[in-house]
Amino acid sequence: MRSTDIIVIGAGAAGLMCAMTAAARGRRVLLIDHANKPGKKILMSGGGRCNFTNLYTEPSNFLSQNPHFCKSALARYTQWDFIELVSKHAVPYHEKKLGQLFCDNKSSDILGLLLSECEQTGVELRMDTSVQQIDKTEGGYQLQTSLGTLACASLVVATGGLSIPTLGATGFGYQIARQFGHSVLPTRAGLVPFTITDQLKELCGELSGTSVDALVSCNDSSFRENILFTHRGLSGPAILQISSFWQPGDSVEINLLPDHDALGWLQQQQSERPNSELKTLLGEVFTKKMANLLAEQWFVSKPMKQYTPGELAAVAEQLGNWTLVPAGTEGYRTAEVTLGGVDTREVSSKTMESLKSPGLYFVGEVLDVSGHLGGFNFQWAWASGYAAAQFA
Ligand SMILES: Cc1cc2nc3c(=O)[nH]c(=O)nc-3n(C[C@H](O)[C@H](O)[C@H](O)COP(=O)(O)OP(=O)(O)OC[C@H]3O[C@@H](n4cnc5c(N)ncnc54)[C@H](O)[C@@H]3O)c2cc1C
């Protein structure tokens, strides 16, 4: 039987950070993963350029049933700490927008720096390793694995959430949590496109590929960014953001004229350009195709002077407060995160250690902490991995 100080299960963002930081403290760390390669989500992230953190990271960028939980770890390993690491490895990066930092080149730059730190600090990384059984022992934990029986003083669960099973996601972390007496809060897909099945599907399909700036709201939260029409429904950053606040059956409000008071704008157009058709005006705000389709499917397009105040108010309502009920989401197949997970009320916010089973730690997405879109999820992986590594 092999014995070591720490075993980390899951060589994703949180597991790699935890392993390299603990090893830098002089701990003997074995990092295992059932996938054939580490950090697959890092490679896929940010459209291949990894949005690795956000300049404006705040606890308010995270969703959790226990919103205070993330504060301590985020304060002890900040976006500036990760930026320093990125700079140490001379990885070129840039701010795309809204504080979102992306690699200039490829996501593999980020994975490369984490793997290089692991190598330098002496982390032993074993891929293609499955865990069959975990038992608590006097000195820590004993694991039955495809590498044989392994023992450790501290066991770190960094197995992530359920999003994108083809990238290695499993519910194993939740299973471990339950085995050691933890509650797992219901999970659902977050940062995920909406599917539409009613008559709007046709409109979405015809506009597929069109992106438009909008203010999207649901359940008292709003995001102003682009929405993207797709063959199956709606996507784009504003939709992905709001999807994390949406529950089946909820309606979503979309303001397609976020820079204007819709009715005031239409009234102004009516008085200044009475002979212009509605679709001509809309064509100046949206693409021609979108303007024509909206004019055909939502309104009767005619010269502005012909609209009664009631008709104009209806047009304003439709454009400024388009209300729809998505049929569902694309689910874990494409979701960027999993909402819910291991209940943080049973985990120390300082150490990430289980309050139920000493020596057991949870880091990253397996916990009930999910970030907004924009680099926040990686920042949580770095911060929580780092926090556990100080104590494991
Ligand atoms: C397509 C996509 C793009 C994204 N882009 C961004 C972005 O640009 N910025 C951002 O901040 N966030 C992004 N995210 C979210 C981010 O990738 C995750 O929040 C982050 O990877 C979570 O880190 P983690 O280490 O907790 O889990 P993961 O990175 O998911 O790592 C978990 C690891 O555990 C392993 N594992 C799972 N089950 C087992 C098991 N049974 N046995 C052994 N090993 C197991 C997996 O193989 C995996 O390597 C994106 C997510 C996706 C899916």
Q: Are 311 and 206 in a shared domain?
A: yes
> Which numbered atom of ligand 1 lies nearest the CA of 160?
27
Last residue of a domain, one of 329, 346, 372: 329
Which residues of the chain fall short of a pLDDT of 50?
none
Mutate to test the pocket of ligand 1, among 7, 21, 45 (most ligand atoms within 8 A of CB): 45
* Distance, CA of 386 to CA of 158 (rounded, Å): 12
**Does residue 164's CB lie within 6 angstroms of at least one atom of ligand 1?**
yes
Q: Are 135 and 179 in a shared domain?
A: yes
Last residue of a domain, one of 329, 348, 366: 329
Give the domain range for residue 312: 194-329
Q: Are 136 and 149 in a shared domain?
A: yes
In the numeric block, the tokens 């001379």 are attached to: 90
Q: Are 167 and 198 in a shared domain?
A: no
* Distance, CA of 296 to CA of 319 (rounded, Å): 14
Render 174-200 in DSSP notation, one character per residue. HHHHHHTT--EEEEEEES-PEE--STH
Q: What is the pLDDT of residue 301?
A: 87
Q: Are 309 and 367 in a shared domain?
A: no
Nearest CA to ligand 1 atom 5: 45
Count Cβ atoms within 10 A of the Cβ of residue 104 and give its class: 0-12 exposed, 13-18 middle, 19 or more buried: exposed
* Distance, CA of 285 to CA of 145 (rounded, Å): 59
- Can you give the CATH number for the domain in which 273 is found? 2.40.30.10
Number of domains in the chain: 2
pTM attached to this predicted model: 0.97
Count Cβ atoms within 10 A of the Cβ of residue 106 and give its class: 0-12 exposed, 13-18 middle, 19 or more buried: middle
Q: What is the pLDDT of residue 198?
A: 85
User: Do residues 9 and 131 lie in contact, with contact meaning Cβ atoms separated by under 8 Å?
Assistant: yes
The residue among 301, 290, 10 whose CA lies nearest residue 168 is 10
- Can you give the CATH number for the domain in which 135 is found? 3.50.50.60
H or E element that contains 154: strand 148-157
**Does residue 283's CB lie within 6 angstroms of at least one atom of ligand 1?**
no
* Distance, CA of 221 to CA of 63 (rounded, Å): 12
Q: Are 265 and 374 in a shared domain?
A: no
> Which numbered atom of ligand 1 lies nearest the CA of 14?
25
Ligand 1 centroid distance, CA of 216 (Å): 27
**Does residue 159's CB lie within 6 angstroms of at least one atom of ligand 1?**
yes
Q: What is the pLDDT of residue 309?
A: 97
Q: Are 357 and 225 in a shared domain?
A: no
Ligand 1 centroid distance, CA of 277 (Å): 50
